[in-house]
Structure 1
């Protein structure tokens, strides 16, 4: 849940010219070693001036209204922290764009009952610019999948890119003109992973990696992370790292090349993507069990090299959103050994010991 309030500092503008909303509307708490908030501010400038973000401040409150923690980015110092928002901190007249929430991680002990974000903006070029502050209140909720999940690839696996603040999955700017023109209106991959099976020496591949066959994960079995019914599957696309962007309006899944989508019920679906051409063994309407092999790792669609893209989503239609997913039982490398991943949560850079259901 969220609310939006516009308030103005001294010398306010006559009418509100900046509107802010949160996407997705329901903000989830992903729980692992810390608590993570993965959402975006959608900013719309309806005024005649370019507006620059000069400060974002968050105040976190517990259920009783007590202040837990406060953080901010602003213009202080020779290299101000607000510049880390660039280029998503300036909004031209009539423009709409995203600010990725810069306060995305909190200790597990902090009570995230209510978060009040104050976003300060200033019109550019005025001699004595009047700043305006847009306040947005977010009430996040913890998310635990209804469906117990297992890793869809087994063995030693690198999370090459997950959904941390710097990953390309997280930084999916659905307000970008090119994506807007091709019917993209949300980020179903905001909690996704690129899983890369590793060799015995933790290498990604042999040789220079220019051949798919040199990658240790090429052709590895891809397994259903949970039981369900296949609602979409295709396996004829070549493993050439390409897709037809003009087809996105008809089917947002085309960027994934070959894929299998499993409906687990309860509003949760798994997308297994970039699968090897000719390896998909299931069809829409098939019922699958957890751990059942459904395809092999490939490099079809928008893929740089052989890997498995996985995401848990609310649906596969335009406007669907991603959901936090956890893999109980996985171990991650820490120091010279392995430790259980807190809550089965993993993210970018983790090396995982991924075994199937015991």
Structure 2
């Protein structure tokens, strides 16, 4: 009898310890999302969600994310879709999240791995499961982005969307929680909806010969135009076309990444950024100048953090270290599909697209 009581007591103590550890770990986990108001960006016939989770372990326990589930609900709270990543199989899908373990007190960024949603999605319910037993829920209520300005494309030539802001794009995967980046002062993804545009010739080639010289690229020195009316609020034109920049200077000037640039304000918290412009190609402009849609504002160069001649373009809500990118919809262009031209009255462009401005 004593042995049975001892066993029962030990079992109850074990359960109590397990519950205590679970509660302790659960209360030690903090999950938030950025930006605070996630945006629904219309891409073709569906929508995309471009936001991040910041996961912080405030306990001494080692935590491993073993499952992440999302439930998509309509405005009547009816389930539309359910998706998940877990640790099942020989190559578990949860491992597509590179940082899924927290060894004691630590914090890391997780890019939302379920970006595509259908048009009637009103709410998303995420369930994070740690160590196969600790569940934390996070609800996301996205808001559809309404663009009040009419934008044209910033290039007049045929071009390749070399990199956009899809899930695999380097613009999308800017980790502002990475210590080196956060120490420079960044606390948001200013290029969350950015593009790199590369001009093509008639054969859809980007350069001649080996492309080792700037002048071998068909886009080098090509005209860059303003996407809409506005006012210049930031400008740099003295940087050389040598693909370098002073990294520490980002602490004082977060725009230094782009070498030569022009930033135009189009409305409240709506700024267009044109980066990696050619040296001295915007010298006739200054802060405060009024700009018209389609006006020449600079030439394509290789200044700043640029591997080759291209235009970096983005719409953002400010020019400081807290800046967040916002979507951009363009009017009247053609999507080139081989010998077929698909006319677009208004829409987004995507990584890999070949586009012809009108």
TM-score of the aligned structures, taking structure 1 as reference length: 0.91
SS at match of 1:248: helix
Provide structure 2 residue ranges, at least 5 long, that are not aligned to the other structure: 1-17
2:16 counterpart of 1:13: no
Q: Determine if contact 1:175/1:185 at 8 Å carries over to the other structure.
A: yes
Rounded to whole Å, the distance in 2 between the matches of 1:51 and 1:239 is 46
For the structure 1 residues 42 and 342, does the alpha-carbon distance in structure 2 shift closer, same or farther, using more than 3 Å as the test? farther
- Computing the radius of gyration from Cα coordinates, the structure with the larger value is 2
Q: Determine if contact 1:186/1:318 at 8 Å carries over to the other structure.
A: yes
Matches within 5 A, 1:1-358: 11=19, 13-15=22-24, 16-33=27-44, 34-86=46-98, 88-108=99-119, 111-122=120-131, 131-280=133-282, 281-334=284-337, 336-341=339-344, 343-355=346-358
Rounded to whole Å, the distance in 2 between the matches of 1:196 and 1:116 is 39
Rounded to whole Å, the distance in 1 between the matches of 2:303 and 2:103 is 37
Deviation, structure 1 residue 266? 2.5
Q: Name the counterpart of 1:127.
A: none
Q: Determine if contact 2:333/2:345 at 8 Å carries over to the other structure.
A: no
Q: Which has the higher helix share?
A: 2
Q: Please give the per-residue CA displacement for 1:76-112, whole angstroms capped at 9, x wherever unaligned.
A: 11111111111x212232211111000001244xx12
Rounded to whole Å, the distance in 2 between the matches of 1:262 and 1:254 is 16
Q: Please give the per-residue CA displacement for 1:20-44, whole angstroms capped at 9, x wherever unaligned.
A: 1001001001102121000000111
Q: Determine if contact 1:182/1:245 at 8 Å carries over to the other structure.
A: no
Paired residues, number: 336
Q: Determine if contact 1:230/1:286 at 8 Å carries over to the other structure.
A: yes
Rounded to whole Å, the distance in 2 between the matches of 1:142 and 1:341 is 20
Q: Determine if contact 2:226/2:297 at 8 Å carries over to the other structure.
A: yes
Q: Determine if contact 1:234/1:260 at 8 Å carries over to the other structure.
A: yes
For the structure 1 residues 335 and 57, does the alpha-carbon distance in structure 2 shift closer, same or farther, using more than 3 Å as the test? farther
Rounded to whole Å, the distance in 2 between the matches of 1:117 and 1:14 is 19
Q: Determine if contact 1:330/1:352 at 8 Å carries over to the other structure.
A: yes
Q: Determine if contact 1:189/1:321 at 8 Å carries over to the other structure.
A: yes
SS at match of 2:23: coil
- The CA RMSD over aligned residues, in Å, is 1.4
Rounded to whole Å, the distance in 1 between the matches of 2:71 and 2:344 is 29
Provide structure 1 residue ranges, at least 5 long, that are not aligned to the other structure: 1-9, 123-129
Rounded to whole Å, the distance in 2 between the matches of 1:225 and 1:156 is 16
Q: Please give the per-residue CA displacement for 1:61-82, whole angstroms capped at 9, x wherever unaligned.
A: 1111111111111111111111
TM-score of the aligned structures, taking structure 2 as reference length: 0.91
Rounded to whole Å, the distance in 2 between the matches of 1:131 and 1:243 is 47
Q: Name the counterpart of 1:6.
A: none
Rounded to whole Å, the distance in 1 between the matches of 2:47 and 2:28 is 33
Deviation, structure 1 residue 342? 7.6
Rounded to whole Å, the distance in 2 between the matches of 1:115 and 1:334 is 34
Rounded to whole Å, the distance in 1 between the matches of 2:207 and 2:74 is 48
Q: Please give the per-residue CA displacement for 1:110-136, whole angstroms capped at 9, x wherever unaligned.
A: x121100111112xxxxxxx6311211
Q: Determine if contact 2:336/2:342 at 8 Å carries over to the other structure.
A: yes
Rounded to whole Å, the distance in 2 between the matches of 1:154 and 1:313 is 22
